Structure 1
Amino acid sequence: MKSYIVGVGMTKFEKPESRDWQYWDMVREAGGAALSDAGIAYGDVQQVPVGYCFQASTAGQRAAYELGLTGVPVYNVNNNCATGSTALMMARQFVEGGISDCVLALGFEKMQRGALGGGADGGDFKTSPVARHYGIMAARHGFEMSPPTAQIFGDAAREHMEKHGTTPAQLAAVGAKNHRHSVNNPYAQFQDAYTVDEILAAKTIHTPLTKLQCSPTSDGAAAAVVVSERFVEERGLGEKAVEIVAQSMTTDTEESFASGSCVDVVGQPMSREAARQVYEASGLGIEDVDVVELHDCFSINELLTYEALGMCAAGESGKLVESGATTYGGRWVVNPSGGLISKGHPLGATGIAQIAELTWQLRGEAGGRQVAGARVGLAHNIGLGGAAVVTMVRRGR
C-alpha cells in the first residue's frame, strides 16, 4: 500500500528559553497547523507516534492531549537526533501495513542552553549509549575539553582533510550556504547571512569547526499527517498529497567501528546503506532528486552525506559545495530551509521538520526559498548511537 503526506506544520525554531512556552504548547501549534493543512480533525487520527529526547516517559501523551482526548494510541519515540524521522517511519509503516488510514507523526524538543552532551541524556560517558562511539574517537584523537559531539564530528573533519585535502574554506562554504538559505525561512532560528571568511573567523568550537558551522540547541515542534491512498481519495486530498515513495532506516554495522575512523563512527556507512535501500526500493536515484534536506548537524556531516547519497565520489564533497552544485542554480538545492546549522535542531522535531520543508517545496509553497520545478525530494536524518533514516518523497499520484 502507498502512503501520502497530506498535512504538515511546525513552529518557528527558537533559542531555548527565548519564549515562555512548554513542549505541549509547541505541539498544539505544530500539530494544529498540520491538521488544518490536511483539512481534517484530530478525531480522524488513528495512531500518534511522538518523538522527543529530553522529556519524561508519556510526555507524548501530555503533548498530544492538547489536540484532543479521543483515546487514540500514542507512542513515545526516542532515537537521538533521528527521533523525528523515526516517528515518521512508524506512521508510514502503520499506513502501508494496512493498520491505519490516518496517522499523525509529532516531534518536539524543549532544550537547555549550551552545547549538547555526549548522548541524549548528556550523562556519564562510561554508561552512555554512545560510549563505544566516543571510545573510537578517543583511541585515535584523544579526548579534549570541547563539547563531545563537536569533537567527534570535528575529528571526522580532520580525517577528511588529511585524507582528501578538504579545506577549511570548503567546510565553511557549507555554513555560508545554509545561513544564506535561511534568510528566506520564517521558521528558522537564525536568518542572517555570512560570508565564508566570517564563518572562518567565528569562535572555534573544535578545530576545524567554528560556531557558525555547528547546529545550535533549539526549542520547537513539527508534525505531519500520513494517510493511505484510500483516505486521499475519500477526502479529495489529491492536490495536497505528497507520496512517500520509499524510506529506510539503518543502524551501525561492523563497518562503523572496524576502521577506527570518526568518518565511519559518525554514520557515513549507515547513511550510504539507507540511501542504497531507498534507491533500490523506489527505482529513483540521486540524479532524479531536485531538493534535499539533510542532517548538517556540523558542516562536515553535510560533506560526508553528499558522498553517502552518491552526489559525488569519496573525497570530492568539498569541491562539490564549493562549485555551487548544491545551491540555487546548481544541480540540487540542499537544505533550502537553512538546515540544522541555521534553521535549528530541536532533536525530536528535526526529522519531521525536514519533511515539512520538502512538502512545501514539492507543492510550490515555499515562498522566497522555493526550488523551481521541484518534483522529487530526499530527506536524511541521522542520530549517533545509531540510526540513519532516508526518505524519498514525490509530488503527484
Structure 2
Amino acid sequence: MAGRVFVVGVGMTKFEKPGSRDWEYPDMAKEAVGKALADAGIAYEKVEQAYAGSMYGSMGQRALYETGMTGIPVMTVANACATGSSALFLARNAIRGGLADCTLALGMEKMQKGSLGAGMESSKVTIIDHHLRAMVEGRGGWEAAAPMPQMFGNAGREHMEKYGSQLEHFAWIGWKNHKHSTNNPYAQFQDEYTLEEIQNAPMIFEPLTKLQCSPTSDGAAAAIVASERFVDEHDLWDRAIEIAGQYISTDTPDSFEDKSSINVVGFGCSQRAAKKAMDEAEVAIDDVDVIELHDCFSANELITYEALGMAEIGEAHKLIDAQATTYGGKWVVNPSGGLISKGHPLGATGIAQCAELTWQLRGKADARQVEGAQVALQHNIGLGSACAVAVYKKPTR
C-alpha cells in the first residue's frame, strides 16, 4: 500500500512582467529552491530526486547547478500549463512507490511578451490542433483573435447562450481575483479595480476584457516533498501538509465529439481529475475550504466551478450572485489572486498553487488567510490536454 506523502517546504519568486528582471533560469531556481529548503529546514543533499518543470526554457539539470550538484536524477518535465503540477505529481509518485524519501518539484518559466499561442492557428499540427478544429466546427468559424482567449472566450459564450450567465458574472471573477492579489507580495499585479473598470477594460474576446485574462510572466516556485518516515526522522510535523489525493487526467473522445467549446477547453479532464483526487483523499467538494483554480481566463474559473462539483451544470453563475467563492462565502477561490492577477509563468503555476495552499493550511498566509482552513484543492489545466487536481489536508499523526 502506498504511503502518505507530505509537502514540507515551499518557496517561490515574485512573479514578474517578462523582461523586468535580469535573471536566468538558474537564478530563478536557486531563489525558489533555496526558499523551499529553508522552509523545510533541510539541506539540498537530502533531496534524492528532482523534477524540474519548464515549457519553453532550461533543462532541469542546468537550472539546478547553482543550487547543488549532488549527482541525483534530475528530470525535465513539460506538460503544457499543467507542467508544474506534473512535476509535483512525479515527485509524489516517487515517494509513494518507495523509490525515495525526499524529492523536489520545481517549476520555472521565462516568457515572451504577447498573447500565448499567437500563430498557432496557422500550424497544421500543434498540441491544440484537435481543440482548434473542434472549436471552429462548433462555433461555425474562426474569428480574428489569438487562440487561447478565443477558445476560453467561446466557452464563456456557450455558457451564456445555454444557461443565462451574463458579462457581469465573468467580470466579477476578474474583480475578485484582482482584489485578492492586493494581499499577495508574490503577485505580478497587486492593484484593486472596481467592477466597472474590469468591465470597461479593452475587450480581448467577448466576454473577456484584458483584466479577466492572465498575463505572460516570469518566475519560479519549488516544493520539497517527503515520506512519512522522512517527516518523522527530521521532526517536520509542524510544517508538513499532506497531499491526500492527486490525479492527472487527459482528453477522451468526448472532449471533441459534440464540438462544445466548454468540453474543448477541458471540462471533462477537470471533472475526471477532481473526482479521482477527491476519492483518493476521501473528501467531497463540500469538505474543501480553499481552492487555487486555473483561472487563465475568467470564463475558465466559472465553468470549472461546475466541473469540480461546486455547482450543478449550468448554475455556476449562481455562486457568483451569492458571492460564494470569496471571503465570507462557502469557499475562497484563488486567495493568491489566481493566474489573472498573480501571473502565469507556465512551468511555475502549479507549484505556486501548491505553495499558496500549503501556507493556507499552515495558517501562515498573512492577510490572505482563510480562517480555519483544513482542506484545500488545487486545479491546474493545460490544453493539449492535461488537468492536475490535488487535495491537501492538515495532517493527523
> In the alignment, what sits opposite 1:192?
191
Query: Is 1:101–1:227's contact at 8 Å kept on the other side of the alignment?
Result: yes
**Per the alignment, in what secondary structure is the counterpart of residue 71 of structure 1?**
coil
Question: Is residue 2:389 matched to residue 1:384?
Answer: no
> In the alignment, what sits opposite 1:52?
54
* Counterpart Cα distance in 2 of 1:321 and 1:309: 15
> In the alignment, what sits opposite 1:115?
115
The Cα shift of 1:37 comes to 0.3
Query: Is 1:291–1:334's contact at 8 Å kept on the other side of the alignment?
Result: yes
The Cα shift of 1:124 comes to 4.7
Query: Is 2:135–2:259's contact at 8 Å kept on the other side of the alignment?
Result: yes
1:11 aligned partner, one-letter code: T
With the length of structure 2 as denominator, give the TM-score of the two structures: 0.97
Question: Is residue 2:134 matched to residue 1:136?
Answer: yes
* Counterpart Cα distance in 1 of 2:143 and 2:370: 41
The Cα shift of 1:139 comes to 1.4
Deviations 1:263-293 (A, max 9, x none): 0010011100111111221210111111000
Query: Is 1:232–1:238's contact at 8 Å kept on the other side of the alignment?
Result: yes
The Cα shift of 1:145 comes to 2.2
* Counterpart Cα distance in 2 of 1:230 and 1:73: 21
* Counterpart Cα distance in 2 of 1:368 and 1:325: 19
1:221 aligned partner, one-letter code: A
User: How many residues end up aligned between the 2 structures?
Assistant: 393
Q: Which segments of structure 1 move beyond 2 Å, counting only runs of 4 or more?
A: 122-125
> In the alignment, what sits opposite 1:81?
81
**Per the alignment, in what secondary structure is the counterpart of residue 258 of structure 1?**
coil
> In the alignment, what sits opposite 1:8?
10
Stretches of structure 1 that go unaligned for 5 or more consecutive residues are none
Q: Percent identity?
A: 59
In structure 2, the CA distance between the partners of 1:249 and 1:219, relative to structure 1 (3 Å rule), is same
* Counterpart Cα distance in 1 of 2:160 and 2:302: 11
Question: Is residue 2:365 matched to residue 1:360?
Answer: no
2:61 aligned partner, one-letter code: Q
Query: Is 2:54–2:346's contact at 8 Å kept on the other side of the alignment?
Result: yes
* Counterpart Cα distance in 1 of 2:215 and 2:325: 22
> In the alignment, what sits opposite 2:265?
266
Question: Is residue 2:247 matched to residue 1:245?
Answer: no
Deviations 1:120-175 (A, max 9, x none): xx585212121110011111332122111000001111111000011000000100
> In the alignment, what sits opposite 1:32?
34
With the length of structure 1 as denominator, give the TM-score of the two structures: 0.97
Question: Is residue 2:57 matched to residue 1:65?
Answer: no
1:96-245, aligned counterparts within 5 Å? 96-117=96-117, 124-141=122-139, 142-245=141-244
* Counterpart Cα distance in 1 of 2:66 and 2:291: 32
* Counterpart Cα distance in 1 of 2:318 and 2:66: 47
The Cα shift of 1:66 comes to 1.6
Query: Is 1:118–1:128's contact at 8 Å kept on the other side of the alignment?
Result: no
* Counterpart Cα distance in 1 of 2:149 and 2:156: 10
* Counterpart Cα distance in 2 of 1:6 and 1:151: 39
Query: Is 1:252–1:270's contact at 8 Å kept on the other side of the alignment?
Result: yes
Query: Is 1:49–1:106's contact at 8 Å kept on the other side of the alignment?
Result: yes
> In the alignment, what sits opposite 2:343?
344
Deviations 1:331-381 (A, max 9, x none): 010000000000000000000100000000000110111101111100000
Query: Is 1:173–1:322's contact at 8 Å kept on the other side of the alignment?
Result: no
* Counterpart Cα distance in 2 of 1:374 and 1:279: 17
* Counterpart Cα distance in 1 of 2:123 and 2:325: 36
Give RMSD over aligned pairs. 1.1
Query: Is 2:121–2:147's contact at 8 Å kept on the other side of the alignment?
Result: no
* Counterpart Cα distance in 1 of 2:129 and 2:253: 16
**Per the alignment, in what secondary structure is the counterpart of residue 256 of structure 2?**
helix
> In the alignment, what sits opposite 1:276?
275
**Per the alignment, in what secondary structure is the counterpart of residue 248 of structure 1?**
strand
> In the alignment, what sits opposite 1:299?
298
